[in-house]
Amino acid sequence: MVHVLQSYIGGRYTASKAAETFDNTNPATGKLISRVEIALEPEVDAALRSAEEGLKLWSAMSGAERGRILNKAARILRDRNNELARLEVQDTGKPIQEAEAVDVVSGADCIEYFAGVAGSLRGEQIALNNAFVYTRREPIGICVGIGSWNYPIQIACWKSAPALACGNAMIFKTSELTPTTSAKLAEIYTEAGVPDGVFNVLHGDARTGTLLTSDPRVAKISLTGSVGTAKKILAAAAASLKRTTMELSGKSALLVFPDADLRQAVSAAMLGNFYTQGEICTNCTRVYVHEDIHDRFVDMVVERTKKLRVGDPLAPETQVGALISQVHMDRVLGFVAAGQKEGARLRYGGERVDEDELARGNFVRPAVFTDCTDDMSIVRQEIFGPVMSVLKFRDEDDAITRANATRYGLAAGVFTRDLARAHRVAARLEAGICWINNYNVTPVEMPFGGIKESGFGHENGQAAIDHYTQLKSVYVELGDVQCPYE
């Protein structure tokens, strides 16, 4: 019997009145995982009403009380790491070695971090003549989190942890492609003691998202997704001036200078292109390598890429799993074909892997392109797949100018042993996140966000607190009212 996944509202799974569903399939096998009920008007309204009730209880707790509950949720996540990682693999197609080491653990790290922050939220006191002012950080109300399909449980944690720590309620709308683990997170929050309604999970399509983003009861929207989706949400949010945080697409650059540790730079480039099958928004899919070391860099990349093991995501030895859907796989293969047609040299990979049981899934062998130019589609457009484009550069100014010549500004990386150059280049790169001598390392302590069309606002770090609280100023008079009227 096929499992039917329902929305999680008010501390329990709730059947939708319309009983309209879509299929959730395993991208590695094509097998049906579950049928997922779509939340429409009745379920959205129920979620908002339960969030209003839960918010009254949750916001009235002290930060320390909320922190204790969130810490318990983090412990439960860690205890269930392997179980949740397997569910994540079935939904996303990523290798189990990644899901067990990163996905659930990073979510637990985030909840622990903001559990500690919850009890430290405070305003300031400002002394004046015969008066003083104090400020309060207060919850903003009901927040909506909209997740992406590449890191479902991590993104649900990254959005819910700061929201809940600050005393808000959150309704999390899952991706249609990966709905399973966010609902498990809701179960865990309930088990840890989060009041019913404070964290609801709705499944659905664009209709569900539109109902949430246009409802005046929602105070804030946080999206991880595409630029096109963000523009639609911003238009809907404008009607009631909702706060928004947008974490969007990227076409990031990695700059490798001639004095770099070559092996470390290659490792970073591979992580920044092939981890999670390349389905990471910050990936450095434009790798600019100085002409003096270009050929050695490429030879090393190709040699190591050939050793990557593409296979069953649940096999411990697999390093590259399945892309999220056949539609997405066809899109990635289309970019590979376009790269060759436009004159780039495909040094390795780029074909569908369909031997034996892998034929039922969406597997693509990691691709390495050289002889690329900045006007090629594989260099300009976000592919969101395992496709690396390597480009030559001559000097620092040339590399920076070309790296910045994009409408995106999510991330960038620099590899050099010259720390003066590293800081100088990082300062000039137009990106919200810059790594020096590493790539795609995202500790929860570090603010995460982009600029230009890669979005605005920040997740993680102390910066996230500003996005989930509102500041109230209170003026206290100690003397007489200065009134000019008799």
- Give catalytic residues, as residue numbers: 159, 247, 281, 459
Indicate the pairing of strand 433-436 with strand 21-25.
unpaired
Give yes or no for a contact between 453 and 410, defined as CB atoms under 8 angstroms apart: no
CA 398 to CA 388: how far, in whole Å? 20
Q: Strands, DSSP E only, in 18-107? A: 21-25, 32-37
Find the helix or strand (DSSP H, E) in which 451 lies: strand 451-452
CA 440 to CA 438: how far, in whole Å? 7
Give yes or no for a contact between 163 and 151, defined as CB atoms under 8 angstroms apart: no
- The tokens for 108 are 């637990």
Give yes or no for a contact between 104 and 153, defined as CB atoms under 8 angstroms apart: yes
Which residues lie below 8 Å from residue 157, measured CB to CB, with a gap of 6+? 77, 106, 107, 108, 110, 111, 185
CA 172 to CA 193: how far, in whole Å? 18
Output the CA torsion 336→337→340→343 (10° steps): -110
CA 458 to CA 468: how far, in whole Å? 10
Distances (CA, A) of 178 to 23, 26, 247, 255, 436: 11, 9, 18, 33, 33
Q: How many other CB atoms sit within 10 Å of the CB of residue 405?
A: 14
Nearest-10 crossing angle of helices 104-118, 152-165? 0
CA 232 to CA 213: how far, in whole Å? 10
Closest by CA position to 8, among listed 189, 256, 211: 189
Show the DSSP H helices in 377-474 as ranges. 377-380, 396-403, 419-428, 463-468
DSSP label of 474: E
Give yes or no for a contact between 444 and 460, defined as CB atoms under 8 angstroms apart: yes
Rg of the chain (C-alpha set): 24
Q: How many other CB atoms sit within 10 Å of the CB of residue 299?
A: 12
